[in-house]
Amino acid sequence: MGAGHSHPLYLAGTSAVHRLPAEVKIVAAFLGVVCVVITPREAFAVFGGYLLVLAGVWVCARIPLGWIARRSLIEAPFVVLAVLLPFTGGAPSVEWLGVSLSEPGLLAAWNILVKGTLGVLTSLTLAATTPLRDLLLGLQRLRAPSLVVTIATLMLRYVDVIAGEARRMRLARIARGHDPRFLWQVGATARGVGALFVRSYERGERVHLAMLSRGWAGEMPRLSDAVTRRRDWLVGLSPVALAAALAVTGLVTA
């Protein structure tokens, strides 16, 4: 069980983007999304500009376009609301293929769709270039509360173990002829979840004892003493500078 070393969205690489310290990338991703969110929705061209900036980052990080595109489908369920908007919005309306669509509704749908998509693409870029360990180190360096970082570290180290346990329990149920189709047949699954909780909690007790016996003093040791140089910040935030310029353009022109 190789727990906690990688995650499904990580794309191994050694590009300049991969080598940037994680805290720089987290801050850059966050500021980038902020720029997208504050851009007025009528500034159509500006959103194209954001996409170009992201594409530039993908080229630097050697992330294939298809790889990003396939994974961006993750967004689909979150934009359900957007589909409804053109049909329920107010006047004035436009005719399109014989269907009357509300103009403010269309604009609102575009707003949610484009900002949500750019947000997901940014998050995907961050996840693709940052391994787990670095991400936690980055959170620590950004002065996230140490308790939260420690809990997140342990959680990420054990999630594969617990998920593997859940998978084996499911296989065991299926092997014994379990084939639920309706909500009221959920008993066995739910008892499995209960057993999973008891096992997780008891594992937590054992992990705690093991940690104590290895000198746990309530704080995760720093695993790396690499320092973040000013140059890293400058390089990492350069796409954000472009995004900020785009946001200002959008705010001024719209």
Partner 1 sequence: MALAMHMSDGLVSPQTALVFGVIAAIGLAIAASRARSDLDDRTAPMAGLVTAFVFAVQMINFPILPGASGHLLGGAIVAILVGPWVGSICIAIVLVVQALLFADGGLTALGTSIVNMAFLGVFTAYGVALVLRRFARRSRAGLLVTAFVAALLNVVVASLGFVLQYAVGGAGEVGLGTVFALMVGLHTLIGVGEGVITAATIGAVAATRPDLVYLLRGSRPPVEVRGRRTEGAPS
Q: Within positions 97 to 156, which residues make up the interface with partner 1, using CB under 8 A?
A: 102, 104-105, 107-109, 111-112, 114-116, 118-120, 122-124, 126-127, 132, 135, 145, 147-148, 150-156
Nearest to 31 by CA among 228, 254, 246: 246
248 is a site residue for partner 1 (CB under 8 A): no
For position 85 contacting partner 1 by CB under 8 A, the verdict is yes
Per CB under 8 A, the list member of 20, 54, 158, 246 interacting with partner 1 is 158
Q: Report the residue number, 20 or 82, with the smaller CB distance to partner 1.
A: 82
Residue of 30, 55, 228, 235 that binds partner 1 (CB under 8 A):
30
CA max distance for the chain: 73
Site for partner 1 in 34-53 (CB under 8 A): 34, 36-38, 41
Q: Which stretch binds partner 1 (CB under 8 A): 58-66, 81-89, 229-237, 238-246?
A: 81-89
Interactions with partner 1, residue window 181-240 (CB under 8 A): 181-198, 200-201, 203-205, 207-208, 211, 218
